[in-house]
Copies of this chain bind each other. A is one copy, B any other.
Amino acid sequence: MVHTKRTYVESPKGFYCQDITDLVKETLQDSGIKNGIICVHSERSVAAVVTMEFEPGCVKDFETLLEKVVPIGIDYEHHRRWHDGNGHSHMRSTLVGPGKTFPIIDRRICLEPWMQIVFVDFQPAATKWELAVVIVGE
């Protein structure tokens, strides 16, 4: 059995995290699948799907970590060639990865209560983002 869903996440300007756990859980419920694997994926090369405890402290810590490792203000060759001001957005997505895959057991995604599925937008501008979810199982 395969169940698919394409949807959108809207983001404001700047670094933005949105908890999409409920959206993903509802997709699983709609599928009727009991055991399997679920893939949650940003279709854009300047965004990502991660896991974290979704509370303002972790969100801020993640922004600080990325600013240290992949800063906004430094020179990027991507920007030199295309002048679109999002070199850091591309590198953050490449480093963290655009999606995550989770096991499903007994109609439940295997996440403890303090682990949420989070969409992260690295693009400087406000954007509407394609998000794809596919579940394979029985």
Q: A residues near B, CB below 8 A?
A: 1-2, 4, 6, 35-37, 39, 41, 43-45, 50-53, 55-58, 60-62, 64-65, 68-70, 76-82, 87, 90-91, 93-105, 110-112, 114-116, 130, 132-134, 136-138
Contact = CB atoms under 8 A, between A and B. Distances in A.
A133 B35 CA distance: 11
Copies of this chain per assembly:
3
A91 B138 contact: no
Contact of A81 (B2, B56, B64, B91): B56
Contact of A37 (B39, B61, B98): B39
A82 to B, nearest CB: 7
Contacts of A134: 35-37, 103-105, 137
B43 A57 contact: no
Contact of A114 (B45, B51, B65, B114): B45
11 contacts: A37-B101, A37-B136, A39-B103, A41-B102, A43-B111, A45-B51, A57-B79, A61-B77, A61-B87, A65-B70, A104-B134
Contacts of A79: 57
Contacts of A98: 51, 100, 115
Given A43-B110, A55-B81, 9 more contacts: A2-B36, A2-B137, A2-B138, A6-B105, A41-B102, A43-B115, A58-B91, A65-B95, A98-B115
